[in-house]
């Protein structure tokens, strides 16, 4: 399954799609990236005259690339355009170390901890273009389709 097909099967659309490309995909993990556009809606007012990407958005980027994209890949034989993906976040714990600003490109690196009974749990981190750790954590979710 190609990265473009995985992205097409995601249950998100603009302005809430935070996946630009997937660069590595395997049964054990995934790597992808996203570049924050200067005009992202959440920069309005976060923070006044000093826009910084909210932590909840960074967590969403980690979840979309690190859990949902990997889950779509792992369930590639069951999921299709006709069988829409449904996602439920079941848990997350994330630590934040560096800010992300408008225009920054981040890379998400996710390693599968387990996948059983359609529940996927991953260790996920974001690194910036300087190869510095932005945040890391563990995210789990249920992936289903209809």
Per-residue confidence at 141, pLDDT binned at 50, 70, 90?
very high
Mean pLDDT of 99-126: 97
Q: Which fold has domain 3-145?
A: Thiol Ester Dehydrase; Chain A (3.10.129)
C-alpha–C-alpha distance, residues 57 and 1, integer Å: 27
Residue 27 predicted with pLDDT over 90: yes
C-alpha–C-alpha distance, residues 31 and 76, integer Å: 17
Catalytic annotation, residues: 46
Domain boundaries, the chain: 3-145
Q: Give 58-78 pLDDT, tens digit per residue.
A: 999 999 999 999 999 999 888
For the entire predicted model, the pTM comes to 0.94
Who contacts 62 (Cβ-Cβ below 8 Å, separation ≥6)? 94, 108, 110, 124, 125, 126, 135, 137, 139
Which of helix, strand or coil describes residue 65? Answer: helix
């Amino acid at each position: 399954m190609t990265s473009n097909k995985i992205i097409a099967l995601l249950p998100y659309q603009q302005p809430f799609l935070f996946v630009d490309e997937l660069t590595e995909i395997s049964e054990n993990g995934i790597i992808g990236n996203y570049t924050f556009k200067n005009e992202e809606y959440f920069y309005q007012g976060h923070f006044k005259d000093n826009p910084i990407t909210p932590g909840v958005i960074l967590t969403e980027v980690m979840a979309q690339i690190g859990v949902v994209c990997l889950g779509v890949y792992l369930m590639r034989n069951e999921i299709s355009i006709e069988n829409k993906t449904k996602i439920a976040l079941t848990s997350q714990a994330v630590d934040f170390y560096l800010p992300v600003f408008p225009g920054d490109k981040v890379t998400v690196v996710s390693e599968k901890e387990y996948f059983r009974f359609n529940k996927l749990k991953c260790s996920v981190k974001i690194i910036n273009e300087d190869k510095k750790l932005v945040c890391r954590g563990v995210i789990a979710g249920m992936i289903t389709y209809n």
